[in-house]
Chains A and B, each alone.
Chain A
Amino acid sequence: MLSAVAFSVLGFVILVAAINCISAENVIHGAYWLLLCAIGVAGMTWFMGAEYLAVTQLLLYAGAVSILTIFTVMVTHRSYESACTESKLSVSAVILSLAFLGLVAYGIIMTPELAAFTTAQEPMELADFGAELFAIDGHAFAFEIASLVLLAALIAAVWWSKDSDLDGERIAKDKAARIEDPLSEHSATLNAPLRDEKKEQQSAEGQEDSHA
């Protein structure tokens, strides 16, 4: 009875939060709706008797991932205005998510143990859980594969950030050039290197045009 009430309330909260998360125009609001959604999912796993999963969900998704999401937003969006974008409905995204939903539903229906699952099971002892997770004939292989996915994501992120590194070098060079400028001159010369570069670029473009 109690868990049925909790299940309905949490299900409602999760749905509302998820819908608001994808339709929010302000990216920070979206991040906080995602936080509420993660807390709701943690609560639901708790009522299913999966204590360890619930705590991990709360600690990693509600705590750490939300912080990292907000950290990313802070690094990429400089002002309050640029945090807002109009949300558009993408047909391809709808099709993709419906296909994913279908795949997961098919998987659950086709697995008799999952389809017959009811709530209020006895919570598993942590030591048993660890033994099950890391046993060679248990889930050790899947666990290692998951860590490979993370490693691939890490390498991809480093590879992508290479270009912005070059930008950083250019900015550092500009700064160094500005510092070398004699300080006794008028303050307008402080920005001189940047302006010269722009002029050069423009003249180079002009030349190319004339060649064409």
Chain B
Amino acid sequence: MNVWLQALLWMLFVVTIMMVSGASIIYMLRKVLAAAHLRIGPNTLGPAGILQLVPDVIKLLTKEDRHPNFSDKGLYCLAPIIIFVPMLTAFAFIPFGPTMVAANVNMGVMMILAFLTLVPLGVFAAGWASHNKYALIGAVRSVGAAITFEIPLLLSVLPPIMLAGSMNLSEIVLAQANGFWFVIPALPSAVIFLICAQMETNQAPFDMTEAESELVAGFSTEYSAMRFGFIFLAEFAGNFVMAALAVTLFFGGWTLPGIDPHSMGIFAPMVLIIKSYIIIFLFMMVRGNFSRYRVDKMAALGWKRLIPFTLIWVLVFAIGLRAVQTLFGAGA
């Protein structure tokens, strides 16, 4: 097939996955949060309110697109793009099946995390360019949060990389299919990864950048119409990226235990998506059941607990792994 056509089809695939998961996660969030709070959630439009998304999108598309008088116009218009594009790019590295990965690169894990580190810069640009004090406070918090959680997040992905001996996400999945899920030896890393993922995606209890009871809507206060739509979509797409990355690193990716990975065929992407949605459900239950952290407490959690703990854990894990490998042969 033509190289350009192939690239175009992969791009279409990535954009579709992002759009569809973004939209369905919004619906799911409403339902799960409503259930957690003993409410019903959207129920008027369509069966169980599933068509609620259609008027939502119409509203986003038809609202007036305006910007504040004193805003920094260039950066204000650019900010949603700086948030949206890295999130979209991160989708390209997730393996949905044996050959279903848009960009199969050796550094897959690091590529996803490298692109996700650009998102807080977009959030900061949005808050700073709005020239609004609530937006600015949200922006400053996002930068503070970014330097808090990114170090433990990077350290927590190291044990699966050590176990698989590769940073290629497809190889990490196959290494788990031939052995065991990496959550079994590296459970503390999986827990820290999920906590940091919650911080990365700006979700309660770590949503200080847009804490609605203190900051109106934080960094996105001044945004409306489709510019807000991009920020909104990127946030929910981020849920899926982090969940899919967690599944790929710790929970066997698109494989199932006891089933030959090459006979999965069409079921591979379905397995990955179902597993990811179970993780997203976990995120939402945390969101529905915990109250928001205070901003300085989150910094303390990151710097005083997560970073020292992950540093020691990675060291202990590396020594333990090497000891097991020398005692029982290199096959482990």
Residues of A within 8 A of B (CB): 26, 28-29, 32, 35, 39, 51-52, 55, 58-59, 62-64, 66-68, 70-71, 74, 80, 123, 125-127
Contact = CB atoms under 8 A, between A and B. Distances in A.
Contact of A62 (B105, B113, B117, B146): B117
A51 B114 contact: no
Contacts of A80: 131
A32 B75 contact: yes
The 9 closest A-B pairs by CB, nearest first: A63-B117, A58-B114, A59-B114, A55-B110, A55-B107, A51-B107, A71-B143, A67-B146, A55-B114
B117 A68 contact: no
A63 to B, nearest CB: 3
Nearest to B117: A63
Interface string B138-149: 001001101100
Contacts of B118: 35, 39, 62-63
A63 B120 CA distance: 9
B131 A59 contact: no
A66 B131 CA distance: 21
Interface in B43-75: 72, 74-75
Q: Give chain B's interface residue range (CB within 8 Å of chain A).
A: 20 to 34
27 contacts: A28-B72, A28-B75, A29-B75, A32-B75, A32-B121, A35-B118, A39-B118, A51-B106, A55-B111, A55-B114, A58-B117, A59-B110, A59-B113, A62-B114, A63-B117, A63-B150, A64-B117, A66-B121, A67-B117, A67-B120, A67-B124, A67-B143, A71-B143, A74-B140, A74-B143, A125-B106, A126-B106
A64 B143 contact: no
Query: By CB atoms of chain B within 10 A, which of A39, A63, A123, A126 has the most?
Result: A63
Interface of B: 72, 74-75, 78, 105-107, 110-111, 113-115, 117-118, 120-121, 124-125, 128, 131, 140, 143-144, 146-147, 150, 154, 165-167
Contacts of A51: 105-107
B106 A123 contact: yes
A123 B168 CA distance: 13
A130 to B, nearest CB: 11
Nearest to B78: A32
A190 B62 CA distance: 53
A68 B147 contact: yes
A71 B128 CA distance: 12
B138 to A, nearest CB: 12
Contacts of A64: 117, 147, 150
Nearest to B113: A59
A123 B167 CA distance: 13
A59 B117 contact: yes
Given A29-B75, A32-B75, A55-B107, A70 B165 contact: no
Contacts of B147: 64, 67-68, 71
A127 B107 CA distance: 12
B143 A63 contact: no
A184 B12 CA distance: 70
B10 to A, nearest CB: 15
